[in-house]
Chains A and B, each alone.
Chain A
Amino acid sequence: MTNDLMLLMPLIIVGAGAILLMIAATYDKFTHELAAFGSAGIFAFAFLVQLASCISGNVALFSEAFNGLLVVSSFSKAAGLIILACGFFTAMSSLSYFKQNSFCSSEYYSLTAFAASGMLLLTMAQELISVFIALEIMSLAIYILVGYDRKNVISTEAVLKYLMLGAFAGAFFTMGSAFVYGAVGSTKFVKIGQFLAANGFLQSSLMIGGAFFILVAFLFKAAAFPFHAWVVDVYDGASVPVTGYMATGLKTAIFAVFANFLVLDDTLHKGWINYLFYIAVFTMFVGNLIAIGQQSLKRMLAASGIVHSGYLLIALVAVSTTEFTGSVIAYYLAAYAASTLGIFTALSYLGGSGEARKTFEDFKGLAKKRPYSAAAISIFLLSMAGIPPTAGFMGKFYIITSAIDAGQVTLAVLGIVSSIISMWYYLRLIINMYFHEAEEQFNEPVLSSFAPVCTFILVICVFAISLYPIVV
């Protein structure tokens, strides 16, 4: 029991912290800066606890808490670490962001903590109802965060779109769970797996329908083709730190539960692998096509997020091979999170008041005026593009290796072709920053040094993850 509680500790810390922050926010003296430090502290503490349990490692790999509703594995621990780090850096970059933008209140940080507790729960959930609850805890907090800038029309539009579509996805998920329950008589992943192993996937029409609905919900949240259309508008409408949080933390949680769902039910995985193949390919190429045409940096990053979902789907297609279960996905998520968070952290202090700098053109000549920031952004972009020696390269290397190892050579080559295409829009920003003359001064003072420091830490992370590739 103590062991189970220890494993659950990060979730408890973040959840309790979120409630405390919410209560504290009712006091006027508790300014949003204090809340930022508070939430950063909570994330840091939970991160250290999680790290300690990762390092000690002697806990049973499949220790059961709460009657098997939640299961902690090394994969879920790694995903939890990524999510907590994302929360920490989001809090820090928000601190800098809200020096230049004024729509913040203390509840903002409480909501990031609530979202994180939902994400943590999601990585551990091994039962459909728990997954649904976790999904909703996370999503509700994120909906509010997306629309936090109430007076901004674009932000309001974004939240409306996301809320409507997200509600549909939630409904699909519950419907699917009900179908699966009808077929299996249980909502536990383990029981579903046993049922599939005994009866096969295609024997029960309830099972096919249920799995289809659940997959739709996951694909929607993971921004995969053909449920990707919301991504660009929503990411564009949300404020920079929230976009960064969605692109990293939320995606980590979704892919964690997606992998858990597919891996445990090996028959299910085999049944869907052909469809996942096409979904992965279309996700990559549609994402690329969207990204190429963008003028706004945030929209480009949103579209490139779709492409990265495609790479992760490659890993999901290949995930059943015994040697690579989960670790490839966790590694890629860590690499992707470090570079994406880095670029959003940099944007949170370079964007200017009211996110004045948006397009590629606005960043022309940045390297002349702010050489260190431009170098950091370039490193993040190169990591996202998968150029060595950055973390993104190692992540891509693992994914391609696992795909070829699983016999998916075509998928691997298509992934490579997709990353060749993606070079264009990543290089475009580097070219704008370095090879054009500056049209403005970029001289507004940086009011808080937290975001620049975090950017620097993330640069180190990008290299460290690559040079010490710890595979969980």
Chain B
Amino acid sequence: MFEHVLSVIIFLPILAGLLLLATPASRTIARFTGLITSLAVLVLSIDLYAGFKATGYLEFVENIPWVESLGVSYFLGVDGISLFILMAGSVLLPMVYFIFATKEKGYYANLLIVQGAMAGAVCAADMVLFYIFWEVMLLPVFFMLGLYGGPKRLPATLKITLYTIAGSLLMLAAIIYLGVSYHAQFNEWSFAMDKMAQLNLSGRVAAIAFFGFMIAFAIKIPLFPFHTWLPDAYTEAPTAATFVLSAIMAKIGVYGVIRFVVPVFDLEFARFAILLAYSGVIGMMYCGLAAITQKDFKRMLAFSSASHMGVIALGVFCMNLQALTGSIYQIVAHATSTGVLFLFAGILEERTNTRTIEDLGGIAAKAPVFAVYFAIAMLASVGLPGTSGFIGEFMIILGAIKFNTVIGVLAGTTLIIGVCYMLWMFQRVFFENSTARSENFKDLSLIEGLAFLPVIILIIVMGIYPHPFLSKITPSTALQFSQPQAIVSHAPATNAQDFGLTIEQK
């Protein structure tokens, strides 16, 4: 285990991607560079995972001063929360290079850059560094969507770009506000995340800064009512971009809430948690209902993904250990199941040239392996016991009931909607009579089957034996809840008392 392993995980893909863009490499070279780079990152990540000691604090820390006059530093580290998002990215992304063999050079190069940038955003322990990676990870998606997307890609590209940039620039103002407050309170410049928890924030400006962060993350997750960019972007994006957006990038939004909002703005968070939890539940219901009526299966998966992100976000807003741990677990579970489902949708679209559910049918008879894989991923996505989805959802619902019975019951019952649209879609696409388009459907090739196999196995293992994963998550989530207590105790007494929704009265 060497010292700068996180830097290598971040910058190896970025440099490989930039190199590909700068040279006139052919498609094959680009694909193999991407494949080798992402496999190298996977090996490093597994090594990292094995060396992770689950102390709850940041491990593999790298801290180099950067802008010393403002206390900005190149500060990296992983804890139990970020580790799993990092791992999800490293495990899932190599699959894309196996499955999509004939894309353009820019496709693979952008994919590499986005992989590095996402790893950077997850590992960054300095707020300015986090912001830089957060913005950088949007650019490859912008180019992939605009260059290789579907026919209506331009409006979708503009929508997602302007939406997310608007959110993140507001977050920049909030980040700077935190840094300046830290300077004012401790007479020292710093943007390190772990120091921000000591801040003593109160008043209207703190609430505004809280929403500055919250809106940026809500757009990325996306949380109701900031989800309107999602259906267009997910549907028009090329499969790999949709996969990246849904499987990992959306999770970084949730990660941001856990990392920034919960420890720093504990008072505001406590005050608005119920509001946020309701918006999570409404998002679940609304997107679930919207998914039922979709005629396009990619768009249906987009809405289903948004609905599941509502569950994950809800877990964070419930402010207890079970729900938060469940959220992290569900992040990995959802990344594997929905990510794979989007890849399957891409295969389906490539081989049948359609995305309309009605045009398809009887695929199970033509392609049994594909159908079985699809079924496993789908069942994990709806949370069948024995798959990874069940553990996370169970813990989230448990925590939600502890937090607020109404929300818990609403969340629990809404999960049924997920089963409705998924199974109905499965029935129409995979069973029934085959149509003209699905008649010559080829099953997965051996390479494709083997590429998907580890993830399918992971889905089942995570569903049956969650302990090794949970034991790495729990110390960090437990630490999240031990910190705020100390801060609440030295927070001004006036603020500690009005935990309700009192902001309107002021």
Chain A positions within 8 Å of B, measured between CB atoms, are 323, 375, 382, 386-389, 393-394, 397-398, 400-401, 404-405, 409, 412-413, 416, 419-420, 423-424, 427, 431, 434-435, 469, 471
Contact = CB atoms under 8 A, between A and B. Distances in A.
User: In the complex, which range does the number of interface residues on chain B fall in?
Assistant: 20 to 34
B173 A388 contact: no
Contact of A397 (B21, B146, B176, B183): B176
Given A388-B136, A401-B176, A431-B158, 20 more contacts: A323-B69, A382-B139, A388-B132, A388-B135, A397-B128, A397-B176, A400-B173, A400-B176, A404-B180, A405-B180, A409-B177, A413-B170, A416-B169, A416-B172, A416-B173, A420-B162, A427-B158, A435-B146, A435-B157, A469-B67
For B70, B131, B147, B161, which residue has the most chain A Cβ atoms within 10 angstroms?
B70
Given A401-B70, A423-B162, A431-B158, A413 B143 contact: no
B45 to A, nearest CB: 23
Interface string B156-172: 01100110011001101
B154 interface: yes
B168 to A, nearest CB: 10
Contact of B132 (A375, A389, A471): A389
A274 B146 CA distance: 44
A431 B153 CA distance: 11
A281 to B, nearest CB: 15
Given A404-B176, A431-B146, A388 B131 contact: yes
Determine the main DSSP class of A at the interface with B. helix
B179 interface: yes
Contact of B69 (A393, A397, A427, A471): A471
A468 B166 CA distance: 27
Given A388-B135, A401-B70, A409-B177, A435 B172 contact: no
Contacts, number: 72
A212 B400 CA distance: 62
B154 A435 contact: yes
6 contacts: A386-B169, A388-B131, A401-B70, A413-B173, A435-B157, A471-B69
Determine the main DSSP class of B at the interface with A. helix
B146 A416 contact: no
A400 B170 CA distance: 11
B464 interface: no
B165 A423 contact: yes
A420 B176 contact: no
B176 A435 contact: no
A400 B12 CA distance: 32
Contacts of B136: 388-389
Contacts of B147: 434-435
Interface string B109-147: 000000000000000000010011001100100010011
A442 to B, nearest CB: 17
B292 to A, nearest CB: 33
B205 interface: yes
Contacts of A400: 172-173, 176
Interface string B232-263: 00000000000000000000000000000000
A253 to B, nearest CB: 25
Contact of B143 (A323, A389, A423, A434): A434
A435 B180 contact: no
Given A404-B176, A416-B173, A431-B154, A375 B21 contact: yes
A434 B172 contact: no
A382 B21 CA distance: 17
A85 to B, nearest CB: 22
Contact of A401 (B143, B153, B166, B180): B180
A424 B162 contact: yes
Given A400-B173, A400-B176, A420 B67 contact: no
A7 to B, nearest CB: 25
Interface string B163-204: 001100110110011011001000000000000000000000
Contacts of B154: 431, 435
A431 B67 CA distance: 33
Contact of B157 (A413, A431, A469): A431
A409 B176 CA distance: 10
Given A404-B176, A405-B183, A419 B146 contact: no
Given A387-B135, A434-B147, A397 B166 contact: no
Nearest to A415: B173
A394 B70 CA distance: 12
Contacts of B70: 398, 401
A420 B169 contact: yes
A39 B177 CA distance: 46
Interface string B44-68: 0000000000000000000000110
Nearest to A418: B169
A419 B169 contact: yes
Nearest to A404: B180
Contacts of B131: 388
